[in-house]
Amino acid sequence: MGITNDELKYLLNGSFTEATLDKLILMSDQDCKTWNGNPLFRQFQTNVVGTSVGHWKAPKHIQEWATSVLMEHLEDQDIEKEAAAKRAAAAKADEEAAAARKADAEKKKADKLAIEMEASAVRDDARRAAKAAAAKQAAAAAADKASLQAFARAANEALAREYTKKSANCVASDIYFEGDDLIAFD
């Protein structure tokens, strides 16, 4: 048997490797008799396996103990693997959900940006239309003002002509001539 004192110490402390358990499972009667003189092996037999030293069924009890511990260990490994697989699946599902949430948030952000851009374009169009209407209204007001000024100018010119005619008539009526000689003014 290839078991060592260090492996026996680990077994007494409750630690083991699969290789150590395999060695115990393969232990023969002769190996057991050879190791009976070792105090660590004797302690292992009585305290861990629960069999008396030198008992004729001791090798069988050691093999059964090692087999049961190995089976429990392998079952625990299987359970751990299943749990790890479930954790990995849950983590993957969480990552996918997070990616979906992120994609949804990005889509909402893009939609919001598109709506804002559309609203901005509508506001810009409204501003341009308002500016055009204001410019048109200003042009109409300027045209009205120009036509009013032209009308006022024409009216003033007409008044001025009329006043000039009236003045000339008045002046002419206030001056008295007798022949070519000026007689008097009023």
| pLDDT digit string, tens, across residues 35-63 | 778 888 888 888 888 877 767 777 888 88
pTM here is 0.47
Query: What is the distance between the alpha carbons of residues 65 and 11, in angstroms, rounded to a whole number?
Result: 12
In a domain, 173, yes or no: no
Residue reference for tokens 């002769």: 30
Residue reference for tokens 């150590």: 20
Query: What is the distance between the alpha carbons of residues 91 and 159, in angstroms, rounded to a whole number?
Result: 98
pLDDT in tens, 122-157: 999 999 999 999 999 999 998 888 888 888 888 888
pLDDT in tens, 95-111: 999 999 999 999 999 99
In a domain, 20, yes or no: yes
Q: How confident is the model at residue 163 (pLDDT cuts 50, 70, 90)?
A: confident
In a domain, 52, yes or no: yes
Rounded alpha-carbon distances, angstroms, from residue 20 to 15, 32, 57, 67: 10, 15, 20, 11
In a domain, 30, yes or no: yes
In a domain, 36, yes or no: yes
In a domain, 107, yes or no: no
* Structural domain containing residue 21: 5-92
In a domain, 170, yes or no: no
Rounded (5°) CA angle 62-63-67: 120
Indicate the number of domains in the chain.
Answer: 1
In a domain, 29, yes or no: yes
